[in-house]
Amino acid sequence: MIQTAPYGLSMSDLYLFNEGSAYHSYRFMGAHRLQLNGVYGVRFAVWAPNAAEVHIVGSFNDWNGGIHAMERIGTTGIWASFIADIGEGETYKYEITTRSGERLLKADPYAFLAERRPLTASVITDLNGFPWRDEGWVNSKEGRSAYTNPLLVYEVHAGSWKTKGKEVFLTYDELAAELVPYAAEMGYTHIELMPLAEHPFDQSWGYQITGFYAPSSRFGRPKQLMHFVDCCHERGIGVILDWVPGHFCRDNHGLRLFDGMPIFEGPDEKLADKPLWGTLAFDFSKNEVVSFLISNAVYWMEMYHIDGLRVDAVASMINLHMDKPREQYTWNKLGGTDNLDALRFLKRLNETVFHYYPDTLMLAEDSSAWPAVTSPTYLGGLGFNFKWNMGWMNDILRYMSHDPADRPQYHHLITFSLLYAFSENYVLPLSHDEVVHGKRSLLNKMPGTYEEKFAQLRLFYGYWMTHPGKKLLFMGGEWGQFDEWKDAESLDWMLLDYDLHGKMKAYVQTLNTLYVSEPSLWERDSDATAFQWIDVHNARQSIISFIRYGKKSFSIVVANFSRTGYASYRVGVPETGIYRTIMNSNEERFGGYETQHSLKFVSENVAWHGYNQSISLHLPPLSFQLLSYDLGDTH
């Protein structure tokens, strides 16, 4: 029998919350419209274990803290109350009297909606009743392995993909009408949205949060976001949410010193402070914090049908010294620098999410060398199913920034990643972080003339798309945004009126479509035996070639990173038969100078690169070619 607490709360739920196992705590914490003892109203519940008093203030009582007191529920640290005859749209905060007598006005940590910034009150909102139409999408995911299917992600900042004026953002509905068909047309399998949880400062990009359960009201209301996700699913596009469980912002109405004491953050300022970001770290040793955060992950999947989470700043979570000056160093109980509580939290997070949603995506944004990030927890791993490959990203962008004449001495930067490419399940990210703060856009990182920049970006994208690992590209990269990302402005859509930018978009669209349709590029992504170098050592000419094997087909990649072209460049091949060029970055329709769209090559009995057979290609400078061979196709 479930023991009932006051106001219809379950003592079992509150016990699990204190134990760190209430993984659906949003169902009873916060503000909920319900009927209690025959009366309709709103029940409020908030965790404030050190408070002397808690009152509810809001639009329904003229913000008068003397009217609606909350009751402490035993020793749970939770305060609750019921207010009759109020409902959706009312604004509120908790007025917390601390032990020292100070009065704090705090937004609800579990609020489902917040006022549009700069206002900071919480808004009573009912999330139930949205008419979801994505049953077919949900069913299609069941048992579908993410490892052996294409994953091509379009990373989007909702506040700057398109705007209607300064700080006039597209709504979730408008994004559904414009962004969703655009992403579908471009061939992406998923859209990844940078953090949408409510945040006060636009330029934090959503990474400094006050309302973890509230989709930002900048873009509309919660059911409008549900509509956006539903539209994505109708078009066969999954939705990944950038999720920030490592830290929170210091704004007074948020989680900092919530009841006058550090309850969401730890009591040790050196451990809690994130000086580089001006934020505070969650205290993962507290059970209630674990309940709050794991519930938040489950919440986005249950209430918004989110298909996966990109977990931000994992390296900063698990390393006590990362991004901190020496005077703020702390050590764990074993004398090491690992945050043992954070490691336990991440394992528990992934175990819980996959328990409820086994077909979801959990992607670690992790720059550390921590082993087995994408291995199951029962094998000692952290339990994610994918990890961003930051090493590959840093190496290849460094390589591409060098003038082609200098690249022979940096050849290792394009080959080293294959020494560890199968140690984790990787995503190859070309994200927002690489095109801000003076880093220049991807196009503008490329050296050389205007035309060479485009040729090299096409070459780079071809190499990226055929390298083992799933893919992610930040918005604007698909047409060669020339300026770095301006977070307060719309992307430079007018560039599509210029010939080479329009052709770059066509190239990326074609490359995306080819990737999704070519199983050899994703079917055995995690299988080291499905990759084979043809020629890895040709530093002198800055040319690499390799094979990607699928279950029933294989593809050959030839990439020339030099300014020297070859009328006849011989490449060893593993099978006798016909090889077809299915992608050539130098085609005229993409901005190059070749008009031939497809070529066939019959293998010759000329031993080359360790193979008995070879083909001879026309290999333009700064170019990428992809050739297909279907097993058994000999004519």
Q: In whole numbers, what is the pLDDT of the chain averaged over residues?
A: 95
* 415 shares a domain with 307: yes
Q: 321 and 247 in one domain?
A: yes
Domain-located, residue 600: yes
| Gap between the Cα atoms of 493 and 501, Å rounded | 10
Q: Are residues 344 and 374 in the same domain?
A: yes
Active-site residue, from 95, 192, 365, 478 = 365
- The domain total for the chain is 3
Look at residues 468, 487, 521 and tell me which one is the last residue of a structural domain: 521
Judgement on whether residues 433 and 326 belong to the same structural domain of the protein: yes
Report the percent of the chain where pLDDT is more than 90: 95
Place of tokens 């579990």: 110
Q: What is the pLDDT of residue 635?
A: 44
Examine residue 80 and state whether it is found in any structural domain, yes or no. yes
527 is catalytic: no
pLDDT at 297: 98
Q: Evaluate whether residue 162 is within a structural domain.
A: no
155, 198, 230, 312: the active-site residue: 312
Contact call for residues 56 and 97 (beta carbons, < 8 A): no
Residue 96: the pLDDT is 98
507/539 same-domain check = no
Q: What is the domain-level CATH number for residue 85?
A: 2.60.40.10
The pLDDT value recorded for residue 166 is: 87
264 is a domain residue: yes
Compute the distance between CA of residue 560 and CA of residue 539 in angstroms, rounded to an integer.
11
Please say which residue of 473, 491, 521 terminates a domain: 521
**For residue 468, is it within any domain?**
yes
410-451 tens-digit pLDDT: 999 999 999 999 999 999 999 999 999 889 999 999 999 999
Whether 517 and 532 share a structural domain: no
Residue 5 — very low, low, confident or very high, per pLDDT cuts 50/70/90?
Answer: confident
In a domain, 147, yes or no: no
Quote the pLDDT of residue 594: 86
Are 180 and 235 contained in the same domain? yes
CATH number (domain holding residue 586) = 2.60.40.1180
> Does residue 151 fall inside a structural domain?
no
Do 507 and 565 have their domain in common?
no
Q: Point out the domain boundary residue: 123, 151, 184.
A: 123
- Does 539 lie in the same domain as 505? no
| Rounded CA separation 14/81 (Å) | 15
Non-local CB neighbours of 174 within 8 Å, separated by 6+ positions: none
Domain match, 469 and 593 both: no
| pLDDT grade for 179, boundaries at 50, 70 and 90 | very high
| pLDDT for 561 beyond 50 | yes
Q: Which residue type occupies 308?
A: G
Active-site residue, 312 included? yes
Query: pLDDT (tens digit, 9 = 90+) per residue, 57-71?
Result: 999 999 999 999 999
Range of the structural domain that residue 605 is part of: 528-630
131 within domain boundaries? no
Question: What's the average model confidence in pLDDT over 133-144?
Answer: 94
Q: In angstroms, rounded to a whole number, what is the distance separating the alpha carbons of residues 463 and 511?
A: 11
- Say whether pLDDT at 143 is over 90: no
Distance between CA atoms of residues 530 and 515, nearest Å: 16
Contact 149/143 with Cβ under 8 angstroms? no
Sequence-separated (6 or more) residues with CB below 8 Å from residue 282: 245, 246, 247, 248, 264, 265, 289, 293
Q: Does residue 242 sit in the same domain as residue 334?
A: yes
95 and 219 together in one domain: no
The stretch 347-368 carries a mean pLDDT of: 97
Q: What single DSSP character describes residue 264?
A: S
List, for residues 566-600, the tens digit of each pLDDT value. 999 999 999 999 999 999 999 999 999 988 666 89
User: Integer distance in angstroms from the first to the last C-alpha of the chain?
Assistant: 73
Assign residue 464 the CATH number of its domain. 3.20.20.80
pLDDT tens readout for residues 30-65: 999 999 999 999 999 999 999 999 999 999 999 999
